[in-house]
Structure 1
């Protein structure tokens, strides 16, 4: 069920492509909702899971991407939002 992002079709490269490919479906959903400016609490309520579970998935995504902090997360979210609409 992997979606091919536009930058792949156009031959462009993206430093986070390997990250996007390695995400679980839950991690992708959480990243997508975070890119839409939902808080961990809102994501948890929407998905029927705990806030702690959302935070754990988010930490796993950051680890896979090799980024830290809010700036790293924001950069990752921008790339995700651009290429997985």
Structure 2
């Protein structure tokens, strides 16, 4: 899947904007150095990654109609 995503990034000329960072054991440092946390799920039970990112101070971005996401993100206040 990584190769497929990298080809898509290159085909859209987004190499200077999108970076696939791979795996890490130090998730908190990644959140601290990020600008936003995005959860593109259309369906989600409890969005743990979104909750972790927001607990590190990141604004969240997700689908308004996605259950779980729409209960954690306060539109316009803690994210969109």
Same-fold call, TM cutoff 0.5? no
* Structure ranking higher on relative contact order (CA contacts 8 Å, 6+ apart): 1
Structure number with the higher strand fraction is: 2
TM-score by length of 2: 0.30
Larger radius of gyration: 2
Structure number with the higher helix fraction is: 1
